[in-house]
Homo-oligomer: A and B are copies of this chain.
Amino acid sequence: MKISENFRALTPNYLFAEVAARVAAFTAEHPQKNVISLGIGDVTLPLPECVVQALRAAAEEMGEQASFRGYGPEQGYDFLREAIAGYYAGKGVKLNTGEIFVSDGAKSDLGNILDIFPRGMTVAVPDPVYPAYVDANIISGNKTVFVKALPENGFLPLPDKSVKADVIYICSPNNPTGAVYDAEKLRLWVEHALATGALIIYDAAYERFITDKALPTTVYSVPGAEYCAIEVCSFSKTAGFTGLRCGWTVVPETLAGGSVNAAWLRRQCVKFNGVPYVVQRAAQAVLTPEGLRAADEHIAYYLENARLIAGALGEKGIRFFGGENSPYIWMECGMPSWEFFDKLLDSAQIVGTPGAGFGSGGEGFFRLTAFNSHENTLAAAERIKRL
């Protein structure tokens, strides 16, 4: 019994464990100090009432003979796929329900989609980035090339014609940098993919944080993307579903003559049994006018937190990215990021995430997040100003 050699190439991921260990050590030494975490990438507001109501109603349905539902379609119930198609129609993008696959969240599909492609592909991944892209490709035996996101390009790298990749991962709004591609820059990526035959895997998990109407919230707002891009999205950050697990993946029927869509459907039918009915009903509730209003109240709450942090950093003259159209603030820390972690914890009792945890390109930067209460965020902003 042998483990795949690919697992040897994975570097242990101790990022959040190390953060927790250092915070625990600090708290043990200074039990009277009030530590505020701006390090969490997880939502903090409870589910909107209409979502709870939908969950409750679906639970009741499942307890009655007449309305009980067993196995659902692997690709999701039509009621939810139609609601998602309607959501895209509101963005001016026309999708067939057959192009929409309901998922248990972005992370699963961002990795599992590799099942349908050959091993040993070359995959372009921005650096710094959400570590799961890289790890999933290592597990699949693919070769990763890094596209450098730098302060000089606003952490929004553009295509490099010298790089020949089979797959290109793009995350916008970006985790961890908070940077958001505009339509023009996104068009350059789509043109590059079309010219080179590459597939774009577009992670739009934070799209609902985009309040600037000029910025694209879906890759399909760029003409031609339906011939080169898969989009992965999620209810996690939109409506507090991180503990409820629901998202979707768009696989256009125009992609490689429908073969990608057919292969993904087949893969899901073999290795997935769909998302819980009750969760799909909850997700459907998010996409009603009432649900979207509640979601936007959440988003506004977090964006106000981001504004508070950005304001404090601005007042101190600290360079940062993100903080608008994103729950993330990516600040320059002027020293190794773990050193800054200790310094900030010690001097201001604020916890953040060292940029080095998101790839070597994250060194010298530090991620702060908007996922806390106004009160705590305000207190943290005041502490930053006083530093």
Distance of A81 Cα from B118 Cα, bound (Å): 36
A132 interface neighbour in B48, B111, B139, B271, Cβ under 8 Å: B271
A245 interface neighbour in B48, B63, B276, Cβ under 8 Å: B276
A162 close to chain B: CB less than 8 A: no
A residues apposed to B, CB below 8 Å:
1-5, 7, 10, 13, 42-49, 51-52, 55-56, 59-60, 62-65, 67-72, 104-105, 107-108, 111-112, 115-119, 132, 135-136, 139, 141, 166, 197-199, 228, 240, 242-245, 255-256, 259-260, 263, 266-267, 269-279
* Most B C-beta atoms less than 10 A away, residue of A44, A49, A62, A135: A62
A243 interface neighbour in B69, B116, B135, B198, Cβ under 8 Å: B69
A198 with B263, Cβ < 8 A, contacts A46-B63, A269-B13, A273-B245 known: no
A65 with B46, Cβ < 8 A, contacts A108-B272, A273-B108, A273-B245 known: yes
Minimum Cβ distance to chain B for residue A125 (Å): 14
Given contacts A1-B197, A4-B117, A52-B63, list 10 more A-B pairs with CB under 8 A: A3-B256, A47-B68, A51-B63, A62-B243, A70-B242, A112-B271, A115-B139, A136-B271, A139-B270, A243-B276
Minimum Cβ distance to chain B for residue A320 (Å): 25
Which chain B residues lie closer than 8 Å to A44 at the CB level? 68, 70
Which chain B residues lie closer than 8 Å to A51 at the CB level? 63
Distance of A55 Cα from B282 Cα, bound (Å): 13
* Most B C-beta atoms less than 10 A away, residue of A52, A59, A139: A59
Asked if B3 and A259 sit within 8 Å, CB to CB, the answer is: yes
* Most B C-beta atoms less than 10 A away, residue of A51, A67, A107: A107
A111 interface neighbour in B52, B107, B242, B270, Cβ under 8 Å: B270
Interface on chain A toward B: helix, strand, loop, or mixed SS? loop
Which chain B residues lie closer than 8 Å to A260 at the CB level? 1, 3
Minimum Cβ distance to chain B for residue A181 (Å): 21
Asked if B116 and A277 sit within 8 Å, CB to CB, the answer is: no
Which chain B residues lie closer than 8 Å to A259 at the CB level? 3
Asked if A45 and B68 sit within 8 Å, CB to CB, the answer is: yes
Minimum Cβ distance to chain B for residue A138 (Å): 9
* Most B C-beta atoms less than 10 A away, residue of A7, A112, A136, A141: A7
A244 interface neighbour in B139, B198, B256, B277, Cβ under 8 Å: B277
Q: Which residue of B lies closest to A138 (CB)?
A: B270
Which chain B residues lie closer than 8 Å to A108 at the CB level? 271-273
Asked if A276 and B273 sit within 8 Å, CB to CB, the answer is: no
Could you pull out 9 A-B pairs where Cβ atoms are within 8 angstroms? A1-B255, A42-B71, A46-B62, A46-B63, A47-B63, A52-B60, A71-B242, A108-B272, A132-B271
Distance of A259 Cα from B55 Cα, bound (Å): 39
Asked if A274 and B256 sit within 8 Å, CB to CB, the answer is: no
Minimum Cβ distance to chain B for residue A199 (Å): 5
Asked if B2 and A117 sit within 8 Å, CB to CB, the answer is: yes
Asked if B244 and A276 sit within 8 Å, CB to CB, the answer is: yes
Which chain B residues lie closer than 8 Å to A60 at the CB level? 52, 56
